[in-house]
């Protein structure tokens, strides 16, 4: 016999001002099965919870309905109270009479009537609740970090530093990411590689980190604590273990004029190459598409040069390795937008119209010009450089709607670097707004303007064209209200930051959400910023949204904290809201198998005691099941049900409305 306790919360005046709680208590007290019905000012307070607990103990309640706020607010609170009073925590329902009743209706009579119906229907539901036990799943305490940029490196180092194993997968031949391409970093102007390379070395030498470069994640199966990940290690054609990184092969390679991706095409590389001098690991790869041997079947000069036997192996194939993983950190980073879509800026047409990232390479001491800022067209020093901000960002018509966040700062930095290297140079910056929010950021842009004489022109550029060997930048100065023309020697575009081109496909592969652009979705923008909606998968860096280095690093450490929190236990407790199959009626049509988005339903053989196959039925793996209930509705013979939301419960709820 059901003994239900109903507890009506006033929530101060929040509920009581619109719902006649006295009437509600009266109506519910008479409802069949209701043993006790109370009202109180704040049931979520300590004395409130004590009242609930005492009522459970004294009346031997079999179920509890708290008519209060949304279950999204206080379900956990009251489940805990029930458990403390010896009642199974899943014998509780919250009737939402605040968010979905008192706060949204003005007529007290109508609101009271609605509150009565809501509470009554949940009493009917809770009568049919079953005692559930949380599901324990083991946790593999090994993390996978996807992406070896600064975010991925930081996350890996933090997790490894706490004594857990990390697999760090990077698809390029070296870790380092975009940060390794940068010259100096704002707002301190310290050299990017100087602060990054020690971290890269630390990562590859760390006993707990296994770094897999030139590798890609092929498949992700499983669930939180128990992922199975398949990694494809692309053929480098150079033996990682044997290579000493002497670089002789690179010196001798006859194919020398390949535009270097790392140098944004401003410098060249060979067919056997490391992307940059400080690459980690310092082991070259052969670019199969450019290598003379792979193209013509003749050459092998690198192999002849190499002093180690069988180090360069042209027969090498891609290999696959599988890992058992407990948590995944996604740190796949960003790309810059294709700037050729702004034909009016002349990118691609004029050599001296370059992107901000190219400017980083020009300004970098390790770059193609050894840190001298020179025009790509003729190698001369530019006397006037025009920077165009928001070349793609905040432009819903052609570019992207969002602000790329880092461009205001790096453009100010570019102007400063230019001023420091060319004392007579002029820099003019077309901008929309200067967005310099961050520690030391506004001071930094002020320094660019006041000390390094960067001239900021508020307005957009309509056209860049060549005239008498100069680039003419035609725009408007909206503060003067006049059109302006600037004769420049070089134009630098602050290109928008966009997700990796394959970001959406990759998100589908590993099962996380993404926004309209392809940036990955966090579980909650404010309160769960580094988790995804998929348990056990975390985000950091610019794959989530455009971010600078400090933010990426902070977020990476936050993911590490989440991963380590998960790894602090050997067993993980999960909500027992999972589906289960009634084997006696299951006909084995496998409709549920095709409906399940998590591959949680398997085929199970039922045999008699002699081992003869009686029939095959569906069987739900409770570790994999996430409890959506799609299979339940799909089942033609009504053989599957979902704990917590059973057919019985829902029908009872509907019948009481």
Partner 1 sequence: MSDPFEPKIVAFVCTYCTYAGADLAGTSRLKYAPNVRIVRLPCTGRISPMFILKALQKGADSVLVSGCHPGDCHFTSGNYHARRRWTVFRALLSFTGIPEERIRFSWISAAEGAKFAELINEITDDTRKLGPFTQYQELQKVIETQSSY
Q: Which residues of the shown chain bind partner 1 in the complex (CB under 8 A)?
A: 70-72, 96, 98-101, 103-107, 110-111, 113-114, 117-118, 121, 511, 513, 533, 577, 595, 597-598, 626-630, 632-634, 642, 644-645, 647, 650-651, 653-655, 657
Least Cβ distance, residue 407 to partner 1 (angstroms): 27
Report the greatest alpha carbon distance in the chain: 95
Q: CA–CA separation, 262 vs 269, rounded Å?
A: 9
Find tokens 């575009």 and name the residue: 493
| Paired sense of beta strands 272-273 and 209-212, if any | unpaired
Least Cβ distance, residue 534 to partner 1 (angstroms): 9
Least Cβ distance, residue 223 to partner 1 (angstroms): 13
Q: CA–CA separation, 180 vs 42, rounded Å?
A: 56
Give the strands of the sheet with 537-539, arranged side by side. Answer: 209-212, 165-169, 142-146, 327-330, 537-539
- Residue whose CB is less far from partner 1, 392 or 627: 627
φ, ψ of residue 124 to 5 degrees: the values are: -65, -35
Q: CA–CA separation, 87 vs 410, rounded Å?
A: 59
Least Cβ distance, residue 634 to partner 1 (angstroms): 7
- Residue whose CB is less far from partner 1, 8 or 101: 101
Q: CA–CA separation, 401 vs 501, rounded Å?
A: 18
Least Cβ distance, residue 511 to partner 1 (angstroms): 7
- In the numeric block, which tokens belong to residue 6? 């109903």
Least Cβ distance, residue 122 to partner 1 (angstroms): 10
- Residue whose CB is less far from partner 1, 98 or 414: 98
Phi-psi sector, 246: left (phi>0), alpha (psi -120 to 50), beta: alpha
Find tokens 């739900």 and name the residue: 620
Least Cβ distance, residue 113 to partner 1 (angstroms): 8
Beta bridge partners of 355: 493
Q: CA–CA separation, 563 vs 272, rounded Å?
A: 38
Least Cβ distance, residue 93 to partner 1 (angstroms): 10
Beta bridge partners of 467: 470
- Cα torsion through 277, 279, 282, 285, rounded to 10: -100
- Residue whose CB is less far from partner 1, 57 or 508: 508
- Residue whose CB is less far from partner 1, 169 or 523: 523
Least Cβ distance, residue 71 to partner 1 (angstroms): 7
- Residue whose CB is less far from partner 1, 382 or 629: 629
- In the numeric block, which tokens belong to residue 329? 């950190």
- Residue whose CB is less far from partner 1, 11 or 209: 11
Least Cβ distance, residue 84 to partner 1 (angstroms): 25
- Residue whose CB is less far from partner 1, 103 or 517: 103
Helix (H) or strand (E) holding 295: helix 292-296
- Residue whose CB is less far from partner 1, 96 or 445: 96
Exposed, middle or buried by CB within 10 Å (0-12, 13-18, 19+), for 198? exposed
Exposed, middle or buried by CB within 10 Å (0-12, 13-18, 19+), for 126? buried
Helices 192-205 and 150-161 cross at an angle (nearest 10°) of 40
- Residue whose CB is less far from partner 1, 223 or 342: 223
Q: CA–CA separation, 233 vs 321, rounded Å?
A: 8
Least Cβ distance, residue 134 to partner 1 (angstroms): 16
- In the numeric block, which tokens belong to residue 520? 């990955």
- Residue whose CB is less far from partner 1, 554 or 589: 589
- Residue whose CB is less far from partner 1, 115 or 553: 115
- Residue whose CB is less far from partner 1, 36 or 589: 589
- In the numeric block, which tokens belong to residue 499? 């997700």
| Paired sense of beta strands 92-96 and 63-68, if any | parallel
Least Cβ distance, residue 584 to partner 1 (angstroms): 21
- In the numeric block, which tokens belong to residue 83? 């458990």
DSSP annotation string for 423-446:
TT-EEEEEES-----STTHHHHHH
Contact 184, 178 (CB under 8 A): no
Least Cβ distance, residue 509 to partner 1 (angstroms): 12
Q: CA–CA separation, 246 vs 209, rounded Å?
A: 24
């Amino acid at each position: 016999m059901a003994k239900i306790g109903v507890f009506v919360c006033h929530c101060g005046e929040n509920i009581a001002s619109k719902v006649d709680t006295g009437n509600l208590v009266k109506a519910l007290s008479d409802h069949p099965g209701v043993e006790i019905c109370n009202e109180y000012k704040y049931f979520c307070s300590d004395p409130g919870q004590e009242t609930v607990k005492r009522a459970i103990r004294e009346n031997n309640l079999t179920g509890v309905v708290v008519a209060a706020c949304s279950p999204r607010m206080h379900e956990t609170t009251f489940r805990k109270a029930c458990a403390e009073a010896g009642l199974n925590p899943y014998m509780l329902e919250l009737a939402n009479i605040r968010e979905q009743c008192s706060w949204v209706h003005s007529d007290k009579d109508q609101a009271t009537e609605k509150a009565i119906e809501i509470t009554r229907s949940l009493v009917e539901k809770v009568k049919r609740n079953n005692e559930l036990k949380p599901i324990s799943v083991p946790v593999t305490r090994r993390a996978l970090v996807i992406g070896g940029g600064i975010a991925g490196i930081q996350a890996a180092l933090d997790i490894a530093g706490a004594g857990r194993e990390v697999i760090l997968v990077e698809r390029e031949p070296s870790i380092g990411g975009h940060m390794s391409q940068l010259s100096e970093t704002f707002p301190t102007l310290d050299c990017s590689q100087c602060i990054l390379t020690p971290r890269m070395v630390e990562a590859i030498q760390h006993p707990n980190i296994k770094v897999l470069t030139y590798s890609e994640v092929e498949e992700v199966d499983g669930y939180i604590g128990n992922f199975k990940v398949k990694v494809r290690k692309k053929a480098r054609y150079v033996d990682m273990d044997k290579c000493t990184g002497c670089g002789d092969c690179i010196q001798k390679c006859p194919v020398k004029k390949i535009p270097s991706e790392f140098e944004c095409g401003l410098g060249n590389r060979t067919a056997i190459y490391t992307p940059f001098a400080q690459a980690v690991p310092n082991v070259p790869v052969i670019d199969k598409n450019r290598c003379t041997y792979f193209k013509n079947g003749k050459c092998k000069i690198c192999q002849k040069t190499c002093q180690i036997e069988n180090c360069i192996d042209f027969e090498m194939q891609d290999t696959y390795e599988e890992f058992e993983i407990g948590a995944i950190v996604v740190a796949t980073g960003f790309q810059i937008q294709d700037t050729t879509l702004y034909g009016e800026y002349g990118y691609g047409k004029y050599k001296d119209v370059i992107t901000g990232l190219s400017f980083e390479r020009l300004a970098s001491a390790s770059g193609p010009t050894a840190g001298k800022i020179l025009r790509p067209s003729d190698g001369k020093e530019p006397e006037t450089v025009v920077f165009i901000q928001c070349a793609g960002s905040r432009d819903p018509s052609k570019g992207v709607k969002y602000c790329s966040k880092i461009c205001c700062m790096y453009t100010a930095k570019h102007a400063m670097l230019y001023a420091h290297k060319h004392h007579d140079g002029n820099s003019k910056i077309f901008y929309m707004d200067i967005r310099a929010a961050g520690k030391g950021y506004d001071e930094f842009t002020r320094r660019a303007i006041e000390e390094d004489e960067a001239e900021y022109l508020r307005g957009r550029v309509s056209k860049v064209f060549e005239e008498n060997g100069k680039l003419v930048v035609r725009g408007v100065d909206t503060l003067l209200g006049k059109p302006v023309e600037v004769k420049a020697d070089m134009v630098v575009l602050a290109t928008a930051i966009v997700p990796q081109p394959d970001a959406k496909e990759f998100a589908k592969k590993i099962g996380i959400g993404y926004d309209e652009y392809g940036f990955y979705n966090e579980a909650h923008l404010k309160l769960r910023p580094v988790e995804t909606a998929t348990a056990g998968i975390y985000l950091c860096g610019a794959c989530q949204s455009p971010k600078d280095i400090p933010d990426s690093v902070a977020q990476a450490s936050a993911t590490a904290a989440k991963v380590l929190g998960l790894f602090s236990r050997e067993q993980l407790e999960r909500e027992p809201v999972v589906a289960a199959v009634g084997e006696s009626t299951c006909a084995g049509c496998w409709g549920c198998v095709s409906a399940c988005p998590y591959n949680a339903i398997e085929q199970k053989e039922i045999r008699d005691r002699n081992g003869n196959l009686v029939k095959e039925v569906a069987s739900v793996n409770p570790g994999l099941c996430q409890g959506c209930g799609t299979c339940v509705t799909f089942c033609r013979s009504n053989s599957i049900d979902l704990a917590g939301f059973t057919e019985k419960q829902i029908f009872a709820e509907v019948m009481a409305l």
